[in-house]
Structure 1
C-alpha cells in the first residue's frame, strides 16, 4: 500500500498536478484572508455607525430628561428671574439716551 502511495505522489509530482493543487490551495487561502479582512473592516465600520447613532439618541434623551428635571425643580426661580428681566427691560427711548451719553453728551468725551 505504501508503495502505491509513493507511486501516486511521484506520478502527481511528475505530471505537475501537485503544483496545481498547491497553487489552488494558496489561491483559496489568499481569497479567504482578503475576505476576512474585508469582513472585519466592514463589521467594524457598521459597529461604529450603530454605536454613534445609539449614543446620540441616548445623549439627547438624557439631556431632555435633565433639562425637564431642572425646570421642574427651579420653576419658581425661573419665573422670578424672567419677571425681573421684564421689569428691568430697557425701552428704546432709554437706550437712545444711554447711547447719546456714551457718545460724549454727558461724559464729556
Structure 2
C-alpha cells in the first residue's frame, strides 16, 4: 500500500500534475481568503448596528426609569417643600425691614474696609 502511494505521488510529480494541484489549491485558498474580507466587514457592520440599536433601546429604558423615579421623588417631597415655603412666607420681612438689613450689612462692610 505504501509503495502504491509513493508511486502515485512520483507519477504525479513526473507528469506535472502535482504542481498543477498545488497551484490549484493555492488559487482556491487565495480566492477563499479574498472573499472572506467582505464577509468579515459585513459581519462587523451588522454587529455594530445590532449593538448600537440594543444600546439605544437600553438607554431609552433607563432614561424612562430615571425620569419616573425623579417624578416619584419630587411628588414625595412636594408636601415638605410646600410646608417649608409656607413657613418662609409666614416669616417674610417687609420692604422697610429688608432696607434696614441691607443698610446694616453695608455698614458692616464699610467698617471692614477702613
* TM-score where L is the length of structure 1: 0.59
Residue 39 of structure 1 deviates from its aligned partner by 3.1
Task: Give the number of aligned pairs.
Answer: 100
Equivalent of 1:34, from 22, 33, 37?
37
**Displaced runs of 4 or more, over 4 A:** 84-96
- Which has the larger share of helix? 2
Residue 77 of structure 1 deviates from its aligned partner by 1.0
Specify every segment of 5 or more residues in structure 2 that has no aligned partner in the other structure, as ranges: 1-7
2:48 maps to 1:52: no
Specify every segment of 5 or more residues in structure 1 that has no aligned partner in the other structure, as ranges: 1-5
Corresponding residue SS for 2:42: helix
- The 5 A counterparts of 1:1-109 are 10=12, 13=17, 17-85=20-88, 93=99, 96-97=102-103, 100-101=106-107, 103-104=109-110, 108-109=111-112
* TM-score where L is the length of structure 2: 0.57
The root-mean-square deviation of aligned C-alpha atoms, in Å, is 3.7
Q: Answer with 1 or 2: which has the greater Rg.
A: 2
Residue 93 of structure 1 deviates from its aligned partner by 4.6
